[in-house]
Chain A
Amino acid sequence: MTITTTGLAPKRADELEHLLGSLADPANPTGATAILAADERAEMLTAGESLLHSYGLNAEFVPPELGGRLERADHLAEVMRSLYRRDPALGLGYGASSLIAGVTLWTAGAAPQREHAARLLLDGHRIAIAFHELAHGNDMAGTEFEATAAPDGLRLSGRKEVVTNIARADAMVVLARTDPGSGPRSHSLVLVDRASADPARLTDLPRFSTVGMRGVQLGGLRFDDLPVPASAVLGPVGSGLETALKALQITRTVLPAMATGILDTGLRLTVDHLSARRLYGGPATALPHVRSVLAGVFADLLRAEALGAVGARALHLVPGAASVYASAVKFEVSRLLLEAMDRLAELLGAHFYLREGPTALFQKLLRDLAPVGFGHIARAACQMSLLPQLPLLARRTWTRHGTAAPADLYALAEPLPPLPYDRLALHAGGRDPIAGSLHTLLDEPWAPEDADLRDAVAADRAKLAQLACECGQLSPVELGVGARPEYYDLVTRYVRLLSRTVCVQVWRHAEPGNFLADPAWLRAALHRSAREPHRPGPLPAQVEDTLLTELLDRRDTGRSFGLTGRPLAV
């Protein structure tokens, strides 16, 4: 079955954008003024939550067969960007945390569990995802929270901490130890229904306060021998880590993809500010250095969204390889966003530091962005999860022609089959159709004026071969928790080649007439991701001009700066 929704963005994304209204309008209850006031109070934006409630945002997180609108992961990211563009705390605190719980349920839940969860979400309730314990951070296998067998089911004991919405969620998915052993079959996911749970055995911990995402209700919960029925376990007992590693490939891909909305607004605020600002007798945007940074950030936003979009489409089309692509997206998109926002902050100068005035939203967006690098999974943990896959990728794909990906992987407007939750895998078994396409790309037709691009592809192919040589030598034993730091650089090199290939493919598959079919953005993307001892220098003049013209045109016509260039309610 193929879903008929086509296009870079679904129609409903425009609807939501319109409902949320203008950021700049001080009278808009979901505009920047109200958002900043809620942030100062460390509260969720109430008007935003009730708007999303009546819009039925939660349906975005529920598969169609259960009554929701979660048809396409790339469309989900685009819809959610409307929130991240305004108030990332709404994005995470109203939405994304229920999505994380949702994907574990759609992946491993039995029919009654899935139906129950879908009903909760569609009725506007929340489901928290309680993995984290302060004592263990990213070390999921270190989880101490226990589920012990009892005659009538299980008893839950322990603490979960720094968990979004745990105090106000109607249900939660908890990662619990079901076996004292150390192996990967020692944990299970348990769906806990708060309404039917004995309140005497649950104690809410005080709220955690944070630097960014200040409105998000981060709480903790202590369980004292809480009885739950055996039917609360998702999938077989002992499958908790397996389910988490599979299902969270979806969220590790789409959460960073959503967060590009933050950079979109950051870029708009900066361009607005600097075009109005007069320095040395002209607008600040006339300064060559300013123009160069703006064009570079625009290019970085485009390549971040390209990688996010292809990663999201890979979940549908090549789910067996998504373990590699999800970690790559999380690692690279978060880096691009964090670095780009820092460069914009430099351009804004003192105005990025002000908590008032027309640029005040920037400092909040900068603080709210930070968890994209460490939340859900740390960037370094993504590197570690990719490391043991490298020798196999080298052997099975990088050194020879392998199976090509379906062309629709890169043709972003094409429809997608449903998300195949049951085909996500713990590892890709060395199959990497995206980087593998470097072998065939050179044989495809290239216009003479694109010879420089073809040369770049040829050079990348040689680099992939070199990387394959180095990785093929490694034993998996060296690539575990104790892996040497220099091996982490192998992952960085791989992800760079992967994301460059993604950009080339998105350009080749773009619809004629679309800006994505213009080689200027690809030249910029390749230039910015070139491997050099120092940071890449300024873009070639012609490329910079094309990008800046497009950037300013999108600003003047109120369109987004990402892949879709959609009209926004700015």
Chain B
Amino acid sequence: MTAGNRDVHTWLTERVATYLRRSPQDIDTSRPLADYGLDSLTALAITADIEDEFEVTVDDALTWDHPTVDALSAALSGLVGEKRV
């Protein structure tokens, strides 16, 4: 699966929802992932998903510095955009 033109925010929300076995509508993207049970160690897995999906390399502590879907999307949008040109 490739992201195509889908928005990073939408993709991330869906990814997190899949992990939580919930629907994307149930995720408040401004809340820390830890509130949903993705603690500091388990949230690290998301960085690898991001790498696989967008073919970028991200910092291993990305989810520590940007602990919500909103913050992650903001941090990624520049990076992902650059790679897409």
Contacts and interface: CB of A to CB of B under 8 A. Distances in A.
A426 B61 contact: yes
Contact of A388 (B44, B60, B67): B44
A479 B42 contact: yes
Interface residues of B, number: 25
Given A242-B61, A242-B64, A392 B39 contact: no
A388 B45 contact: yes
Interface stretch (B6-14, B29-37, B76-84): B29-37
B64 A184 contact: yes
B40 interface: yes
B60 A391 contact: no
B37 A477 contact: yes
Contacts of A141: 40
Contact of A392 (B19, B37, B38, B48): B48
Given A242-B61, A426-B61, A476 B38 contact: yes
A183 B37 contact: no
A185 B60 contact: no
A429 B60 contact: yes
Interface in B36-81: 36-48, 51, 60-61, 64-65, 67
Given A429-B47, A480-B37, A388 B64 contact: no
Contacts of B32: 183
A306 interface: no
Given A476-B38, A477-B37, A480-B37, A430 B48 contact: yes
Size band of the A side of the interface? 20 to 34
B39 A481 contact: yes
B19 A183 contact: no
B38 to A, nearest CB: 6
B47 to A, nearest CB: 7
B68 to A, nearest CB: 11
B40 to A, nearest CB: 4
A476 B42 contact: yes
B42 A429 contact: no
A384 B40 CA distance: 12
Contacts of B18: 475
A385 B44 CA distance: 11
Contacts of A53: none
A163 interface: no
A299 interface: no
B44 A426 contact: yes
B45 A391 contact: yes
A2 interface: no
A476 B47 contact: no
B38 A427 contact: no
Contact of B42 (A242, A396, A480): A480
A385 B36 contact: no
B14 to A, nearest CB: 14
A384 B51 CA distance: 24
Contacts of B45: 388-389, 391-392, 427, 476
Interface string A177-195: 0000011110000000000
A22 B60 CA distance: 48
A426 B67 CA distance: 15
B76 to A, nearest CB: 16
Interface in B8-30: 18-21
A476 B61 CA distance: 16
Interface string A425-439: 111011000000000
Contacts of B40: 141, 183-184, 241
Contacts of A477: 19-21, 36-38, 42
Nearest to B46: A476
Contacts of A184: 40, 64
Given A388-B41, A429-B48, 15 more contacts: A182-B34, A183-B34, A241-B40, A242-B61, A242-B64, A385-B41, A392-B45, A425-B60, A426-B61, A476-B19, A477-B20, A477-B36, A477-B38, A480-B37, A482-B37
20 contacts: A183-B32, A183-B40, A242-B64, A388-B41, A389-B45, A391-B45, A392-B48, A426-B64, A427-B41, A427-B47, A429-B47, A475-B18, A475-B19, A475-B20, A476-B38, A477-B36, A480-B38, A480-B39, A480-B42, A481-B39
Q: When A and B form their complex, which 9 residue pairs have the shortest distance between CB atoms, in order from nearest?
A: A184-B40, A476-B42, A476-B45, A388-B42, A426-B60, A480-B42, A425-B60, A427-B44, A480-B39
